[in-house]
Amino acid sequence: MKRYASIRLVAAAALLIASGGCKDDNPGTGLNGPAVLAIQNAGAEPLQISLLEPKTQTIDIRAVARSVSAENLTVTFKVDRTLVDAYNKAHDTSYELVPAEAYEFSKKEVILPRYNEVSSTAQVTLNSEKMPDGEQYLLPITIEQIKGDDAAQTSDEGNVYYILFNKRVLPPAQLLDREGWKVVHCTSEYTPGEGNPKTGWAKDVLDGNPASYWTYNFKASVGPVVYVPLYFVFDMGKEVTVRGVRITARTKAGGVLNNPPGDITIETAKTITGDGMENDADWTYSERFTGTKPDEGIMSHSLHNSVYLGEIQRARYIRFTLHMSWNSGSSVKPTPMTYKGGTFAEFEVWGNLEELDLD
């Protein structure tokens, strides 16, 4: 009996080994039939992307297995422009295809390992700067090809990933009304004033008169002569949207420019401690603008210099730092930026009174 029992055990073991060995003998067969793939998060409703110019946004694209494959798969995605018309007919819309220059695949192929349900990641980047203003455009992404399993197929549902994309355009920046603005700090000013009518005070850069101006104290008999950096702190009275500033240079007889600022820093804050010079942590945004050529570019040797922040800010206070000015000398043609004093006629802010939706 022991002999026959041993024979039965050996036969059973052989059967198990044989059945295990046949596991991958039928390539292309999933656990529940042919592999079926879809696109992750694809559905009837499109993913809606709305971007301000000139921002970009990158979207991850992955394949998912509704029924897994026994093989390693390579899946390729594509944009199918024919599906835009089909979508419009089904939803009574009139979208157009996203312009080719407004999107870019960093990679179109992904790998879906055997028996896995989620692939590696492809990415498409949308660029609002390349988009027409204000319109919505559709980007339908589909599975173009599946390699590695001849029996694999795409799902009837979730096989198109629709992206609805539009560029939002901000209202134009304006030079804000400065009524009620005040200077709460100025490093140095010529307190006796000069000229007729007298000028030279910090408050004069807010008066709307290009003939008046601020100048640093340049006479030791009046008080300490302080050179750059020279600081202003402006209180705009309420929070506004700050997008940039405009500096108007002081002029001399005949319209000759008098040492225009050439190297500045703009900082913004919603609240400040004291006069704004006590706690640097109050200033939550800072950006420096430096001229490199007197006759072109930002902060040049010009009557008006406008600079725009890299990130739009909501603020009540601005701290303006003058690091260096163009040395006009006695001629119209400027010499290099070496003037360590400071003088200019007007300080204005480009922006909007309302808070803008920047998300």
Amino acid symbol at 90 = A
Q: Can you give the residue ranges of every domain in the chain? A: 26-168, 174-352
Q: What is the pLDDT along the chain (359 residues), one digit of tens a residue?
A: 444 444 343 344 443 333 444 444 344 445 668 999 999 999 889 999 988 777 899 999 999 999 999 999 999 999 999 999 999 999 999 999 999 999 999 999 999 999 999 999 999 999 998 988 878 899 999 999 999 999 999 999 999 999 999 888 888 999 999 999 999 999 999 999 999 999 999 999 999 999 999 999 999 999 999 999 999 999 999 999 999 999 999 998 888 899 999 999 999 999 999 999 999 999 999 999 999 998 889 999 999 999 999 999 999 999 999 999 998 865 556 667 899 999 999 999 999 988 887 76
HSE at residue 308, side-chain half, CA atoms within 13 A, is 9
The residues near 65 (Cβ < 8 Å, ≥ 6 apart) are: 30, 35, 36, 37, 112, 116, 117, 118
* Beta strand pairing call for 343-344 and 335-339: unpaired
Q: What pLDDT was estimated at residue 169?
A: 81
Predicted local distance difference test score (pLDDT) of residue 50: 85
Q: How far apart are CA 115 and CA 309, in angstroms?
A: 51
Per DSSP, 46 falls in state P
Q: Maximum CA pair distance of the chain?
A: 129
Both tokens assigned to 97: 């295809």
pLDDT for the residue numbered 340: 95
Quick one: fold of 26-168? Immunoglobulin-like (2.60.40)
DSSP string, 84-133: HHHHHHHHT---EEPPGGGEEEEE-EEEE-TT-SB---EEEEEEGGGSPS
- pTM for the predicted model, two decimal places: 0.67
pLDDT, residue 171, reads 87
At residue 196, the 3 state secondary structure works out as coil
Return the pLDDT at 155. Answer: 95
Separation CA 125–CA 165 (nearest Å): 11
DSSP SS3 for 17:
helix
- Superfamily of domain 174-352 in CATH is Galactose-binding domain-like (2.60.120.260)
Coil, strand or helix at 12: helix
